[in-house]
Every structure is written in structure tokens, then in C-alpha cells.
Amino acid sequence: MSRSPMWLAGVLVLSLAAAGCTSRIVEPDAAIPPVSPVSMPYTATKNTTRINTSDPAAASVLVSQTLWTGYGQDNRPNGAVLVQAGDWPVAAASASLIHFPMNGPVLFTEPGSLSEKTAAELKRLAGIARDSKSFTVVLAGKWDAALVDQVKKEVPSKIVTLEAESPAGFAKAVDIYYSKESGQRPENVLIGSLDSPSYTVPAVNWIAHMAAPLLYTGKDKLPAETVEALKLRNGTARIYLLGPEAVISSTVEKELRAFGQVVRIGADSKNSAAFSVAFASFRDDAGGFGWDLNSAGRNVSVVPDEAYDLAVAAAPFSHLGKHAPMLWSQSGRLPTETADLLHSIKPVYKTTPAAGPFNHAWLTGSEDALSRTIQEQVDDLLEIVSASGGEHKH
């Protein structure tokens, strides 16, 4: 079997059991068998780490186990959110619950069932929680009674069900629940399109990172439930509108001005990749809002375009660790806009590369969704280089 530098770099191979993770060391000269998302859940290059599966349930478990290790108080969760795969508006709005005080992942399961791997991860999280008696499982969306009973049987924790008749109503319910649990109602609010999810979902990493709800609108009509959520802020909302007028019209923008100040992000974005770059680069100091991804020494999260559940599964990478904004990629090609941004933040050293700064990227998805070539290209774009422009000789 031929060995590319990527696979030779991955000397440490992690094998996950259903209820946790164990590790084994593979000697460099040992025969390396073909790998799969089951036998090799992580793959790495020097500047990238891949969550090597495109299954949202498996990816959410891997992300959870990567961040909430249970070692030390900072790596112990207070709860988790359960979402049935395939319902992106519910999943995306739920990402705000990743933030404190919940401090836990969004875990996916198949519609109408609780998968064994998800149930096992819930048990693990409850077992390492800061306080097992108050560990909370939020069931997001509509769950039938039998499924709720199954969750209660698997994890005898506090169970909270959040549901509504519409996506906008669900987002409002999350906003109210978060405000109650945290004791604060965030004035910053993101408004995303229900009709153009590729322009909405890049927001999930921010709402997992900082307290702010994601509320929904149509292109030309603002739902009543969103209006109700905005009214709770008594005219003090700072509203961030996601995407150009082709995604959310000027009519909606004008209507939103009745509830506070409106700032449109990505007004000139010609596609979803360009918007993800615009969102990652944006900063509004007045609202304390935005990643301001404009310098080296940063982390990013790369997700296949239109893989909305995967994007939410990976959103905790913005909550703990290196705090990463999300960027869209295509399956076989890194979009020009994404490549240009990564090139613009390429680390440069003057004396020694050992001093940094260093960049890193998480990639979420199998090679069918994000090719090996993309991972290698991202790795190269993030590699530290000499300010002199000479070869790396240190």
C-alpha cells in the first residue's frame, strides 16, 4: 500500500468504542491496513485535523469526545442537546445552547430513533458532568413520547423538550430558554434566511462561541415569531443580517429597524463560500461581534458546502480549544474565496519558526465530502513561512 505524507504523519491512530475512546500506537514500519471512518476516525497533517466521517451522528460524537474529555473541571459538560438529523433549522438554532451555561455538544441521531453510539455518548457525558444530578439533556424539535421515554431510560437526567410548530417558533423557544437558563437576554441577534441555509449556517460557530440567538426570516417576510422574540429586547437589539439582498430583502431589513440597529454582513457576497469568508472576517467593535479573521495565529473549521448537520456537529470547535470560525468548501475543490482568505493569514516568522504564530484547521467530513487534496492544500496554506521569502531552513 502506498503511503502519502498525510498517513505517515498519523502515527497515533485513535479507535473509538461505542462508550468511549481508546488508543493504540502503530509503529512506523508496521503494515498499515486500509482505513475507514470507523477504524481511523481522525486523520491529520501538520496543520490540520480531520473528523473523518460524513455521518452527523458519528461526527457529533467524535467532536464531543475531542472537547469534553472529563479531565479537569474545564472539560466537563453541564448538558447536551439531542437533534434528529435532517432538520437543519432546528439543529442550527440549537447551536446557541453549546455555549455556557449548557457547555455541551449538539448530538445527532436518526429521525425516530436513538442510535447506540449517541446513547453511549450521552451516558459518557453524564458520567463526567460537573454535576451529574443537574446534567441536562435538551431534546430539540419534535420527539414522540416513546422516543422521549427511551432517552429517559438511557440517561436518567433532567430532560427538557423544546419544540414549536415552525422553525421560526423553535428559534424563539431556544432564545427564551437560553435567556432563562443564563439569566441574561443577549442584545446581539443574528437573523438568517430559512430559504438559503448556506448563508445562515456559518453563524452556528459564532452562536456557540458567544451568547446570541439565531432567529429566522423568509426572503421577503419576517415571521411573527421572530418579531415576538425581537420585541422582548425593547428596541435595544443589535441585529446582524446574514447575506446580501438576494437572500434577505431590503424590505425585511427595513422592518427589522423597528427593533434596533441593523448591520448587514456579506452584502456583496456572490456565493455561500464568499459569505462564509465575509462572516469569518467581519468585526463590529461596537457590538463586540465578529471573528475578525484577518491575522495569523488562528484556527478555522472547514465543512463541505450544504452539509448543514455536519456544520452544527463541528460548531463546538468554536466553543472550546482554538475557537474556530467556519468556512465552506466544495467536495473536490477549495473555493477561491476560502483559499484567498487562508493565504492572507499565512503565518510569517522573522527569526525562528519555533516561535510561531501557528494556524490550524479542523476539517469535518470523509474524503468523499472533502478530498485529501483539499486537506493537503489547506495544510500548505496554513504553513508558517520565512519573512525573507527564503526556504524554511530552521
Q: What is the pLDDT of residues 211-252, one digit of tens each?
A: 999 999 999 999 999 999 999 999 999 999 999 999 999 999
**pLDDT at res. 347:** 95
**What value does the mean pLDDT take over residues 116-137?**
92
**pLDDT at res. 344:** 96
**Which range among 45-49, 156-160, 325-329 shows the weakest confidence by mean pLDDT?**
156-160
pLDDT in tens, 77-109: 999 999 999 999 999 999 999 999 999 999 999
**pLDDT at res. 24:** 33
What's phi and psi for 270, nearest 5 deg? -95, -10
Integer CA distances (angstroms), 224 to 161, 166, 227, 231, 385, in order: 22, 11, 5, 11, 52
Spatial CA neighbour of 54 closest among 353, 376, 329, 385:
329
Q: Could you give the 3-state DSSP secondary structure of residue 361?
A: strand
**What value does the mean pLDDT take over residues 143-165?**
91
Q: According to the 3-state scheme, what is the secondary structure of 168-237?
A: HHHHHHHHHHHHHHHCCCCCEEEEEECCCHHHHHHHHHHHHHCCCCEEEECCCCCCHHHHHHHHCCCCCE
pLDDT in tens, 353-373: 999 999 999 999 999 999 999
At residue 393 the predicted structure's pLDDT band, cuts being 50, 70 and 90, is: low
**pLDDT at res. 14:** 35
**pLDDT at res. 5:** 39
> Are residues 338 and 327 in contact, defined by beta-carbon separation less than 8 angstroms?
yes
Q: Which domains does the chain have, with CATH numbers?
A: 55-163 (3.40.50), 183-294 (3.40.50)
At residue 131 the predicted structure's pLDDT band, cuts being 50, 70 and 90, is: confident
d(CA 149, CA 19): 20
**pLDDT at res. 31:** 45
d(CA 109, CA 312): 13
Alpha-carbon dihedral 17, 18, 20, 24, rounded to 10 degrees: 10
d(CA 266, CA 252): 16
**pLDDT at res. 332:** 87
Neighbours of 223 (CB within 10 A): 19
> Are residues 5 and 45 in contact, defined by beta-carbon separation less than 8 angstroms?
yes
Q: According to the 3-state scheme, what is the secondary structure of 247-299?
A: CCCHHHHHHHHHHEEEEEECCCCCCHHHHHHHHHHCCECCCCECCCCCCCCCE
pTM of the model: 0.89
132: pLDDT strictly greater than 90: no
**More confident of the two residues 36 and 199:** 199
Describe the crossing of helices 116-128 and 56-67 by its angle, rounded to 10 degrees: 20
In percent, how much of the chain has pLDDT > 90?
81
Spatial CA neighbour of 173 closest among 214, 201, 134, 209:
214
